[in-house]
Amino acid sequence: MDWQTSEDTVPSAPVTEADARLLRGRPPATGAWRDGDPDGERRFAAFGAFRTEGGEQLPAYRLAYETWGTLNDRRDNAVLILHALTGDSHVRGPAGSGHATAGWWEDIVGPGAAIDTDRWFVVAPNMLGGCQGSTGPASIAPDGYEWAARFPYLTVRDQVQAQVALADALGITQWGAVIGGSMGGMHALEWGIMHPDRVARLGVLAAPPVTTADQVALNSVQTEAIRMDPRFVGGEYYDAQAGDGPHRGLALARRMALLNYRSPTELNQRFQRSWQSGVSPLGHGGRFAVESYLDFHGNKFTRRFDANSYITLVEAMNSHDVGRDRGGIEDALARVTAATLVLGIDSDRLFPVEGQHRIAAGIRNTIDDTVVITSDFGHDGFLIETDAVSRQLRRLLAV
């Protein structure tokens, strides 16, 4: 559950000009990237039929992805970066034509950065089921209408298999590293288990070995907030006029999620009980500053995401259990052969560090026991604490 805050990562949350542009006008029925929109820095790879773990079928699909750096002649310098729940392929670069927001790991990926694009060829796909160029519920089905709620149920393993097809299309038989945070960390972990011979190094950041009942419960209230919006209309909202889509339910889901991404310490220190109005907090007509903060990010989110896609991806997260049909979590983790960095955040209340400790204990070739970063930012620390995260990624890529 995550980005861009997970992924609106500015700690003080000023309203930038990019934010102001994004928030102008009524929210669209969907914030999905659609065919005919500017491509921006996206590239596209098209594939044939795809069969899910559950036996459902996509007759064809595509993945949107971005790249930085140059693939060498030996094709052994490729790094796969996997985004969090509400992230996308735009790891670095400005907001602009085709990209609603700036890159979400700008300080970590680039020339001379921890993931140095002068050395590494970096690939970042938008996951299957997403809404920023890859096939998902907002995509057009063979009958000429959006898939909407008909889109197949996906698991994390399904999404990884789609990424395997992308690697094959790019001619990459082994990744120099596969790195992901939060939901992307689930994908990275599955890469290391499903295809150990194709991963030389593995970075699992702020991700669990299994989605627990508590986490499923947190997810369920978010998806229900979307479904209860009268304008969701069973997922068939794509023809709605601006302002008439399920933006209230989607914004509420985002506000709920944001509380899991940040820590009580940060929210209490940052906002205290400050009041955003001249009206007394004992009366009516105003609101607390923290409420305004949640509203801002909820409203911003509706401009760049799709409600059906949110449900699809949250349900994929709920499927995450590396031990399923593998003899349990420890037996599954024992399959990983890559040199592995497991990183957690001490204030993470979404995926607490106990999960990362279990992952590190089960993998034979970790570069350390679990690396735990101290941060007040909670789960979003893997996106915000760029200096600390960079130090650890440099260690991983030096192995």
In this prediction, residues 242-251 reach a mean pLDDT of 95
Question: Rounded to whole angstroms, how far apart are CA atoms 351 and 72?
Answer: 36
- How many CA atoms within 13 Å lie on the side-chain side of 243? 3
Q: How high does pLDDT run on average in the chain?
A: 92
DSSP of 195-245: -GGGBSEEEEES--SB--HHHHHHHHHHHHHHHTSGGGGGG--TTPPTT-S
Confidence label for 264 from pLDDT (cuts 50, 70 and 90): confident
Confidence label for 220 from pLDDT (cuts 50, 70 and 90): very high
The contacts of residue 52 (CB under 8 Å, 6+ apart) are 58, 152, 153, 154, 155, 158
The 10s digit of each residue's pLDDT in 203-216 is 999 999 999 999 99
Checking if the pLDDT of 329 tops 80, the result is yes
Question: Rounded to whole angstroms, how far apart are CA atoms 78 and 171?
Answer: 10
Checking if the pLDDT of 66 tops 80, the result is yes
Number of neighbours of residue 48 by Cβ within 10 angstroms: 9
The residues annotated as belonging to the active site are: 182, 348, 379
Question: Rounded to whole angstroms, how far apart are CA atoms 22 and 300?
Answer: 7
- How many CA atoms within 13 Å lie on the side-chain side of 397? 28
In this prediction, residues 241-268 reach a mean pLDDT of 92
Which two structure tokens, joined as six digits, stand for 73? 């002649």
Identify the three-state secondary structure at position 172.
Answer: coil
Q: Are 100 and 31 in contact (CB under 8 A)?
A: yes
Which two structure tokens, joined as six digits, stand for 168? 């094959």
Checking if the pLDDT of 8 tops 50, the result is no
Confidence label for 281 from pLDDT (cuts 50, 70 and 90): low
Amino acid 285: pLDDT = 61
Q: Are 278 and 2 in contact (CB under 8 A)?
A: no
Q: Percent of the chain at pLDDT above 90?
A: 84
Report the CATH fold assignment for 4-398. Answer: Rossmann fold (3.40.50)
Confidence label for 1 from pLDDT (cuts 50, 70 and 90): very low
Confidence label for 2 from pLDDT (cuts 50, 70 and 90): very low
- Does pTM surpass 0.95? no
Confidence label for 266 from pLDDT (cuts 50, 70 and 90): confident
In this prediction, residues 310-337 reach a mean pLDDT of 98
Question: Rounded to whole angstroms, how far apart are CA atoms 80 and 159?
Answer: 14
Strand order in the sheet with 61-68: 43-47, 61-68, 121-125, 78-82, 177-181, 201-205, 339-345, 371-373
